[in-house]
A and B are shown apart, each in its own frame.
Chain A
Amino acid sequence: MGEVWRLLLDPLQHMFMVRGLIAAVMAGGLCALVGTYVVLRGMAFFGDALAHSILPGLALGYLLGGGSRDALFWWGLGTAILAALGIGALSRGQQLKEDTAIGVLFAGAMALGVVMISTSRSYAVDLAHLLFGDVLGVGDRDLLRLTIFAGIVAAAVVFFYKEFLVISFDPVLAITLRLPTRLFENLLRILIAITVVVALQTVGVALMVAMLVTPAATAYLLTHRLPAMMALSVLLAALSAVVGLYASYYAGVASGAAIVLTATGLFLIVRWIRRTPS
């Protein structure tokens, strides 16, 4: 018993682990909350594209801000919101299918980001942080920013619960109830954008879509009430964050990837238990 406690408490002697745990739980929980809508509305590809397309913005912030986290954050946020609204506008175009248009743009944006970062000397390390996250490098300011923005996004999801529900389940009903449908669609996209930027330090650009989709997908298999799905999703994400970080501490593997793998494992287990044909 004492051995278990030692294993659990040992890593907490390091401040970077404590901050990393708090950040991973908060960012993961936020992604999971917003992710319920990503899953229910079939926006996984949108989330993935969004995460990738902010790379040039991050690169610019990185080159101009001299590595300051603040600059990185604000440039990322600006790009993300622009990209979210831009992809929304694209989806209303008629010529190309939406996923084709998104695919073309996000791969292009990603390439642009990589080219920009490659002009810097510490290219490999910095690119790796942006792509795969750097949760153990979270500072106090990062944590404060994460808390504030997570609070804002979570509050919006709660306050506009019934509006988001109606536009997601039945957009035609939303129109006959005379809700400002377009406004809420865009608000939801902006909330996803903020979430992605805020959570970036945890898992990075490349694995972001897993944070948005995996815990929510697991919760989706377990319940038939939306509030329950949201709560479960957040819980599963928090659990994945803690287990993943401990695993990365003891096994010495990349922390963001460990968190995502844990979430994926939980999904597969639930999927297997729930495999009964119905």
Chain B
Amino acid sequence: MALMNWWRMVTLREREARHAPGEPLLEVSRVSMHYNGVLALEEISFTVEPGERIAIVGPNGAGKSTLLKIIAGVLTPTAGSVRVYGHGPQGHLCIAYIPQRNQVDWNFPLTVADVVMMGRVGKMGLLRHPGARDWEVVRRALEQVGLTDLAHRPIRALSGGQQQRMFIARALAQEAELLLMDEPFTGLDLPAQEGILEILERLRQQGVTVLVATHDLDQAAAYFDRVLLLNRRLIAFGSPEEVFTPEALRAAYGGHLRLVSIGGELIAVGDTCCEGG
């Protein structure tokens, strides 16, 4: 037993950064990103408070995925910094990134429970196998997203909505406090989208903060606390009413979005969809 504790101490090495009190959950300051000399993001700054739900919207190639990956600590920005509770993202296990569904090899020989258990790997440490507590966490995570019955189903047999819910369960198993989702609604039918939105609502009550990259301006306006309008630069950030102004939308989308005024109400038509971004 003493030996096991020692091993745990050695392999886990206090990897997780302390959450400094009084610091914002997420603080992005003056982040810029260059790929081979091309500017993908320029001087992005914003702050997010715990429990908020943020939609990141913008045209294809606006840098939405890049921004999410920088926040997750997967990419290192060319300039600027990201702080999560006062520390860089590399020190945190509490950030979960959910990939676009087309980035995943759905033929991998895994079951739903296998994938959700992956969220525990960071907590287990080297040479350790899932314990009773890990299985309990996985069971509860599956229950929260309504996938208990599908726990032993191969991932290749899941629908789009189930795939997305499985990844949310994995984030819960990771005990994530900041959830980053890259185009989770793309290609899902309406009931599946609503299922995900309901789960996100419940997560908010648990204090989980969610940043979602999306193409759907309507949904962003209806379901999210704040909207971040992005096209390489941060064009606007605030409540949907503040952000969705004709000037801001034109600045973000240029000719790709037509604004139509019907009966005094402004309607945006035709964002070019959907891959990449």
* Interface contact A165-B109, CB-CB below 8 Å: no
* Interface contact A165-B118, CB-CB below 8 Å: yes
Contacts of B129 in A (CB 8 A): 162
> Which parts of B104-160 form the interface with A (CB within 8 Å)?
104-105, 108-111, 114-115, 118-119, 121-122, 124, 126-127, 129, 154, 156
Cβ of B85 under 8 Å from chain A: no
Per-position binary interface string of chain B over residues 154-189, scored 1 when its CB falls under 8 Å from any chain A CB and 0 otherwise: 101000000000000010001000000000000000
Query: A224 vs B115: C-alpha distance in the bound complex, in angstroms?
Result: 13
* Interface contact A172-B97, CB-CB below 8 Å: yes
B62 to chain A, nearest CB (A): 20
A31 to chain B, nearest CB (A): 18
5 smallest CB-CB distances across A and B, nearest first, come from: A177-B122, A224-B154, A224-B109, A175-B74, A229-B109
Query: A269 vs B7: C-alpha distance in the bound complex, in angstroms?
Result: 47
* Interface contact A178-B154, CB-CB below 8 Å: no
Cβ of B99 under 8 Å from chain A: yes
* Interface contact A176-B109, CB-CB below 8 Å: no
Contacts of B115 in A (CB 8 A): 169
The residue that A220 contacts in the complex, of B73, B99, B109, with Cβ under 8 A, is: B109
Closest-by-CB residue of B relative to A175 is B74
Given A40-B108, A226-B110, A172 and B74 contact (CB-CB distance below 8 Å):
yes
B236 to chain A, nearest CB (A): 28
The residue that B99 contacts in the complex, of A40, A172, A224, A229, with Cβ under 8 A, is: A172
Cβ of B72 under 8 Å from chain A: yes
**Can you name 17 extra interface pairs (CB under 8 A) apart from A172-B74, A225-B110, A225-B114?**
A159-B127, A160-B127, A168-B108, A172-B69, A173-B97, A173-B119, A173-B170, A175-B72, A176-B93, A176-B96, A177-B93, A177-B118, A177-B122, A224-B110, A224-B154, A224-B156, A226-B109
* Interface contact B122-A223, CB-CB below 8 Å: no
Closest-by-CB residue of B relative to A42 is B105
B16 to chain A, nearest CB (A): 8
Cβ of B29 under 8 Å from chain A: no
Cβ of B67 under 8 Å from chain A: no
Closest-by-CB residue of B relative to A223 is B109
Given A224-B109, A224-B154, A224-B156, A173 and B118 contact (CB-CB distance below 8 Å):
yes
Cβ of A163 under 8 Å from chain B: yes
Determine chain A's interface SS by DSSP, over half rule: helix
Contacts of A168 in B (CB 8 A): 108
Per-position binary interface string of chain B over residues 238-275, scored 1 when its CB falls under 8 Å from any chain A CB and 0 otherwise: 00000000000000000000000000000000000000
Contacts of A163 in B (CB 8 A): 121, 126
B71 to chain A, nearest CB (A): 10
The residue that B109 contacts in the complex, of A162, A170, A175, A225, with Cβ under 8 A, is: A225
A98 to chain B, nearest CB (A): 17
Interface residues on A, range: 20 to 34
Per-position binary interface string of chain A over residues 175-188, scored 1 when its CB falls under 8 Å from any chain B CB and 0 otherwise: 11111000000000
> Which parts of A218-232 form the interface with B (CB within 8 Å)?
220, 223-226, 228-229
Q: Report the interface size for chain B: residues with CB under 8 A from the other chain.
A: 34
The residue that A177 contacts in the complex, of B69, B121, B127, with Cβ under 8 A, is: B121
Q: How many A-B residue pairs have CB under 8 A?
A: 77
Contacts of A40 in B (CB 8 A): 105, 108-109
* Interface contact A166-B109, CB-CB below 8 Å: no
Closest-by-CB residue of B relative to A230 is B109
Cβ of B15 under 8 Å from chain A: yes
Q: Which residues of A come within 8 Å of B, CB atoms?
A: 40, 94, 159-160, 162-163, 165-166, 168-170, 172-173, 175-179, 220, 223-226, 228-229
Cβ of B95 under 8 Å from chain A: yes
Contacts of A166 in B (CB 8 A): 118, 121
* Interface contact A177-B174, CB-CB below 8 Å: yes
Query: A177 vs B122: C-alpha distance in the bound complex, in angstroms?
Result: 5
Query: A249 vs B91: C-alpha distance in the bound complex, in angstroms?
Result: 60
* Interface contact B114-A226, CB-CB below 8 Å: yes
Query: A173 vs B92: C-alpha distance in the bound complex, in angstroms?
Result: 13
Contacts of B90 in A (CB 8 A): 178
Query: A224 vs B69: C-alpha distance in the bound complex, in angstroms?
Result: 30
The residue that B111 contacts in the complex, of A170, A225, A229, with Cβ under 8 A, is: A225
Query: A183 vs B111: C-alpha distance in the bound complex, in angstroms?
Result: 26
Closest-by-CB residue of B relative to A229 is B109
Contacts of A160 in B (CB 8 A): 126-127
Contacts of B170 in A (CB 8 A): 173
- What are 16 A-B contacts with C-beta separation under 8 Å? A162-B118, A163-B121, A166-B121, A168-B108, A172-B69, A173-B119, A173-B170, A176-B73, A178-B15, A178-B91, A179-B122, A224-B109, A224-B111, A225-B114, A226-B109, A228-B109
The residue that B108 contacts in the complex, of A162, A169, A173, A176, with Cβ under 8 A, is: A169
Query: A159 vs B128: C-alpha distance in the bound complex, in angstroms?
Result: 8
Contacts of B105 in A (CB 8 A): 40, 169
Given A165-B118, A225-B110, A170 and B74 contact (CB-CB distance below 8 Å):
no
B99 to chain A, nearest CB (A): 6
Query: A225 vs B121: C-alpha distance in the bound complex, in angstroms?
Result: 18
